[in-house]
Structure 1
Amino acid sequence: MVGNDARNKHILDRTFICSVCSFILHDPLQLTECGHRLCQSCFNVEQETTIKCRQCQLETLRINVRPDRGFKNDMQSLPIDCSFLDAQSKRQTSIDSPLFYSSPTGYKMRARLYLNGYGNAHCTHMSAFFVLMRGLNDPILKFPFNYKVVFCLYDQTFAKQHIIDSFRPDIGLSGFQRPRLDMNIVTGISKFVPLTKIQQENSPYIRDDTMFIKIMLDFNDIPNISLPIAMSLNPGLPIHVQHMMIEQEMKQRSEQQSQYSNETKEIKLSCEETAQ
């Protein structure tokens, strides 16, 4: 992983910036010949026995490059405007979305992101969770909640390689029963997105320091094969229009599959007749 990007890195002292990746130092190492620093990951990329400093061009033997733990501790007090760095330093391990409803008379809920991962995904993935909130509509709603929850991290380039994952609630868990307190226990996908995909330079999933994540409650039991279609629709369209387009696409695919099956049967029958 390269250094940490941040919205305010341009106002920080240059001593906190890696001379290789130009991001804020991550696990800084010091070149003993000149005193300049680089990220541990940037150092690992270098294969030579001597490391040439990008700032002053002095060379340091590889065995003389040292971890700078004191400097790393000093960096903890930096006013860095970066949610991922907050998560890594444990100043803020998660981010909650605003409250939202499945419909005007529907379920009340929110999403929670662990930017640096949660549980067995810590430091390897971003974790996405879903939590039911106690709402005024609860007395007329169906519980336990048993609808599939779909997460989509949008690719903001023309490639549209969105990352989609989903889970179906275990109705035996307390997190999907009718909320008795303000919120239920959070449940979701620990290994939603590998950190390597969102922390790489020029990641298609982050533009202008912004990610877009869509959460869809699947009330119509959409097949997983059709989820990319659902997530590729223009998010600006009204929900009922999106549902109509999804249903049309599913119907069209079903008809194509049925036609393909019929053609396969005809070919098989024809081959059998020829053999006879």
Structure 2
Amino acid sequence: MVGVNARNKHIFDTKYICPVCLLILRDPVQLKKCGHRQCETCLNAKQEITIKCSQCQSETLRTEIIRAKMEDHYLTEQHQHAVLKVVRQMSQIDDRQMDIDLPQTTTAGVSNPATAQLEGLYEMLDILVGCIETLTRDEQHLSNESLQMQIKLSKLIEELPKVKLSVEESNTLLKGIKHSQDIVNEDLMSLRDEINDLKYISYDGTFIWKITNFKKKMIDAQSEIQISIYSLPFYSSPNGYKMRARLYLNGDGNARRTHMSLFFVLMRSLNDPILKFPFHYKVIFCLYDQTPEKRHIIDSFRPDIKSSSFQRPRSNMNIASGIPKFCPLSLIQQEGNPYIQDDTMFIKIMVDFGEMHKTLLPYALSLNPGLPIHVQQAMIKQETERRIQSQSDEQLQIPEG
């Protein structure tokens, strides 16, 4: 639809006339480059990307023409003033300015300037009515949009507590999952440690304890950061007693700062109900000399069957018992001593179930630990028999008095 036609359109300022259709501007669009206006329909009649102004020939890109806010412009004070200005301008037009090209009346047959002016005003009113209708439509449209927005906002406000509750529940769930995951990780670490320990568990009543990082452990003991350390558990047999050793590197009690204290610990096991208590077997300790001299430090003790340390365990571990003054600290604190090599110390714990004679201990503990236990036991038995035979031969050689 082109511009608005009016008989007296020539009385309007040219800025209100479309230079394309030469009618009063309808839905005017202002060109950005020069500021001249055209009807929206006239502008859209040509689909060129670049629009050339028919008045000044300046060019404006179609993308630079913004119509999205035209309806907002109708509501502005500027637009209202412009409309009022047009009305005032028309009301001030005298008879000489009015278009006299009017239809003849049936009675008078002559032109009536007042009637022409009135018709012009009616035409202008039609224009204003069109503007009002546009404003009314815009108002209704905005009202509908506002209502829809309010409905959406109300729904969002209603949903907000639910979303908040859902987020809180999710956070609680995540915290629970994290807590469970931490527990699982701890269990996995514990299980991994147990599996690693199983690699070194002994089931023959003997255990060779390798103590690494000796210097650090000794410093920790002297500064009382960690005064004692435990060996891994070991067993007398697959179904037997469960045991471990406890070592005070800087001594315990009266032996503190003078001797290493080495103790035996009886532990609770699944087979305790069928085992015999109190535990009464001799326990032997050996601190290995790691040089070819093999001057091991050997000591042993027999359990006090009245002590609670050797009764059936009712907790994870009984109270440790053993030899408080196992080894003078002076022996292991000397630089280059044979018992600490590469910052590592070896201690053997052995439960004597065969009542081995004390004189056989140095021999038994000098055997290669790499030999299978049954081979070591056979060699100890042979040595025992050899010594008995040797004693018998010596007795036979003694002359009668």
TM-score of the two chains, using structure 2 as the length reference: 0.46
Alignment partners' CA distance in 2, 1:166 and 1:119:
19
2:243 and 2:215 mapped to 1: Cα distance? Answer: 28
The answer for the alignment partner of 2:337 in structure 1 is 203
Q: Please say if 1:159 is aligned against 2:301.
A: no
Q: 1:217 aligns with which of 351, 356, 372?
A: 351
Aligned residues: percent identity? 65
Residue 276 of structure 2 corresponds to which residue in structure 1?
Answer: 142
CA distance in 1, matches of 2:373, 2:311: 26
* Aligned residues of 2:258 and 2:328 also touching (Cα < 8 A): yes
RMSD: 1.2
1:31-46 matches, cutoff 5 A: none
Within-5 A mapping of 1:1-276: 82-264=216-398, 267=399, 269=400, 272=401
- Tell me the distance in 2 between the aligned counterparts of 1:209 and 1:259: 47
Alpha-carbon distance, 1:99 to partner: 1.2
Higher helix share: 2
* Deviation readout 1:40-80 (Å, 9 max, x if unpaired): xxxxxxxxxxxxxxxxxxxxxxxxxxxxxxxxxxxxxxxx9
Alpha-carbon distance in structure 1 between the residues aligned to 2:390 and 2:271: 41
Tell me how far apart the structure 1 counterparts of residues 251 and 343 of structure 2 sit (CA, whole Å).
Answer: 19
C-alpha separation in 1, matches of 2:254 and 2:375: 39
Structure 2, unmatched stretches of 5+, are 1-213
1:172 partner letter? K
SS at match of 2:395: helix
For 2:359 and 2:215, the matched residues in 1 are separated by 39
Per chain length, whose mean CA-contact separation is higher, i.e. which structure has more relative contact order (CA < 8 Å, sep 6+)? 1
**SS state of the match for residue 208, structure 1?**
coil
Q: Distance in 2 between matches of 1:143 and 1:230?
A: 27
With 81-90 and 215-224 compared, the bigger mean Cα shift is at 81-90
**Whole-angstrom CA distance in 1 between matches of 2:300 and 2:218:** 23
> Which amino acid letter does the alignment assign opposite residue 334 of structure 2?
Q
Q: Deviations over 1:16-51 (max 9, x none)?
A: xxxxxxxxxxxxxxxxxxxxxxxxxxxxxxxxxxxx
Preserved CA contact (<8 Å) 2:244 2:264: yes
Distance 1:202 1:252 in 2: 37
Q: How many residues align?
A: 188
Name the CA distance, whole Å, in 2 between partners of 1:159 and 1:125.
Answer: 23
Distance between the aligned counterparts of 2:270 and 2:363, measured in 1? 33
The alpha-carbon deviation at position 87 of structure 1 amounts to 0.7
What's the offset of the Cα at 1:139? 1.5
Structure 1 CA distance for aligned equivalents of residues 396 and 226 of structure 2: 57
SS of 1:212's partner is: strand
Structure 1 gap segments, 5+ residues each? 1-79
| Secondary structure in structure 1 of the residue aligned to 2:345 | coil
Q: CA deviation at 1:243?
A: 1.2
What is the DSSP-based 3-state SS (H/G/I as helix, E as strand, rest coil) of the residue aligned with 1:132?
A: strand
More strand by share: 1
Q: Aligned partner of 1:181: which letter?
A: S
Report the residue type matching 1:84 in the other structure.
M
User: Distance between the aligned counterparts of 1:107 and 1:229, measured in 2?
Assistant: 26
Give 2:229's aligned amino acid. I
Deviation at 1:104, TM superposition (A): 1.0
Partner SS for 2:393: helix
Alignment-mate amino acid for residue 335 of structure 2 = E
TM-fit CA distance, 1:179: 0.6
Larger Rg: 2
TM-superposed CA distance for 1:239, in Å, is: 1.4
The letter for the 2-side match of 1:148 is: K
Structure 1 residue 81, shift from structure 2 partner: 6.2
